[in-house]
Structure 1
Amino acid sequence: MTPVMTAEELNAFMSEVFKQVADEFNVDHVGAGEVTMRLLTSDKHLRPGGTISGPSMFGLADVAAYIVTLSVIGPRALAVTTNCSIDFMRKPAANVPLIAKARLLKLGKQLSVTDVLLFSEGMEEPVARASLTYALPPPHVN
């Protein structure tokens, strides 16, 4: 799956379409059906116990699935999540970036299916794994 958008284009798209959260995320790498990106964590992402909250980890997984899908289909803002399953496996470190490695498993005419591994920066083992499905807008709808 050849990318049609670069990391720079995807970051610019996020800044344009999702101004409210774009400064929290950064796309680091775009490859053939894969992206690596990060959530720039802060105290607002913590839960009691001093770890990254589940909703923050879900948010990164969801954005990573969206971004890897757009990297192949282009800037179609109206792609939406239709399903997500996430396994929380380890306690992520606080106040270090959370890294997502997303891989597009299938891209059809109406759906994309993505697998996302989440890592605390500096940790070798994943802290979570998510499987997401996105519904794609018709080609004439952005």
Structure 2
Amino acid sequence: MDETFGPLRVERRSLESLLNPMKWVNDEVISKYTELMAIRENSGGHNLLKCYFFNAWFHVSRLKIHLLKNCEIECDGFTVSIDQECPQQPNSFDCGVYLMKFMECLSRGDIFDFNSGPMNFEQKKLVAQLMLGKMITPQ
């Protein structure tokens, strides 16, 4: 049985995947972070937009199948936009960290306030947030 940490009960191996600078973040980290985002959104404050959060397995399986079959999503009252001015990861392994940073910025309706480059600080911040079970909000 793997050891777990914090109120979200994140497994040690998942946190280690986030701290290893040359390794992909595993799906549990992204799902736990999504859970953390939903908890924060339900508590209000911090100039948050109304967002809907789904775990990593939802995105990978049901949404992907829908997009492949229909090539578009029909949602009344939703706007889907793609910002071409997104920071790009400079390697093949920081995609999960970038995804979680994008989620955080988008939930605040903020610009992508980070640069392309090593995500060491962001990785440590994500570990702290997951272990505490709460977001560290920008000042």
TM-score by length of 1: 0.27
TM-score by length of 2: 0.28
Whose Rg is larger?
2
Point out the structure with the larger strand share. 1
Name which structure has the greater RCO, CA cutoff 8 Å, separation 6+: 2
